[in-house]
Amino acid sequence: MRGSITFLLLQCSEMAGINAMEKKLAEYKCDTNQAICLKLARFPEDLEDEGTTFHPEYSHQLYGDDEVAFGYKGLQIQLYYTAGNLNTLFKIKYTAKVTEKFDCVEPDDVEGKIREVIPAGFCSNTDDFLALLEKEANFKPFGTLLHTYNVHNEEAGEDITYQIYKADMSCPGFREYHERLQTFLMWFIETASFIDVDDERWDYFLIFEKYNKDGETLFATVGYMTVYNYYVYPDKTRPRVSQMLILPSFQGEGHGAQLLEAVHRFYCTIPEVLDITAEDPSESYIRLRDFVLLKLCQALPSFSTEHLAQGFSQEMATEAQEKLKINKKHARRVYEIMRLRTTDMSDLEKARTYRLEIKRRLIGPYKKNQRELAKMRRCLRPEELCNQMRQMDLQMQHEELEKSYQELLSEYRRVIERLAQA
């Protein structure tokens, strides 16, 4: 009996020791989204200014789903870029490393993970980086200027000028610049991947801010978009937006809408373009596209108020496709938003007419379920049919349809409100 008690005490002591060790090791875990410090430097003092630092939204592609790096205390991964040409400073700092206290534990290869995504040629010395920062006045945007616009800056009390360019890999220095630019995708697009830049069917669209430094005009990178030109038989192309990113320092200022509209207008001038689509668009991109297409379609005669009252027509689809390269599905969505804007929803009859029209479109998948149910009745055993019918409950379908309609209504109203404020 005494031996058993001694054994149990030894086990408890061993477990307590393990728990204590786990607690000590946990101190060497760092949130990589906080550890990674990004900057777009314009002036030397920006390097010491915490106000110019921003952090990733995602780091799971490099550091796993938990977005944690093990083996360091006070970890700071510095990725600083010159604002225009994106020359890069990469340094790692920490207050303590796990190997200083524990012999049998290895830290994560934090540096190696970063090296997987940033191109060679980066600086590891601050003085070298500052020397490149002094040469930013020599940097000029790549490609052809498509559009210039101004945004009023309340803090500065003045209008700031922005320019949108179209570039390709034949532009001197652009390939290397793009290698640096695309690293931001890893931190701000959840499923980002790098594209094959040797494929000539890619188009690149860039936004730059013009600013003054010591009496000279310089350019800062704001964001970009990549578009792939798919072939459509027999002699057309279908540009598909693949990647779009506005850097965090510039978000919420309307640059995404300016970029998407400029890209649309560019492709509208090319007869071979059939329509413009997007690859796996996010909800935020869909809202942005709704706003831009609504703005563009306002000028089309077929979308006038008197025509909206008559319902969606083939004339609308044709004019949107021929003049603005908008496909029928997107044209229909624009029509529904414009119809809502011109409908007095406080009038019960008008509201009902609008609701029924939208639901007739939304009900398509539910009608398909009903056709499938009719087939099941002919070939399933009673108990199997009972199970399927429970899954396709009619009342549930009505509730889902109403939910879909209300969600769509909220989305449309947000777009209308934004257009009213533009």
Tell me which residues are annotated as active site: 279
The answer to whether 129 touches 86, Cβ cutoff 8 Å, is no
Quick one: tokens of 53? 């630092």
Q: How far apart are CA 142 and CA 299, in angstroms?
A: 32
The answer to whether 316 touches 303, Cβ cutoff 8 Å, is yes
- What's the Cα-to-Cα distance from 59 to each of 25, 107, 392, 414, rounded to whole Å? 22, 18, 40, 31
Quick one: tokens of 350? 């008008």
Q: How far apart are CA 242 and CA 36, in angstroms?
A: 26
What is the per-residue DSSP string for 228-282? Answer: EEEEETTTEEEEEEEEEEE-GGGTTSSHHHHHHHHHHHHHHT-TTB---EESS--
Q: How far apart are CA 253 and CA 209, in angstroms?
A: 12
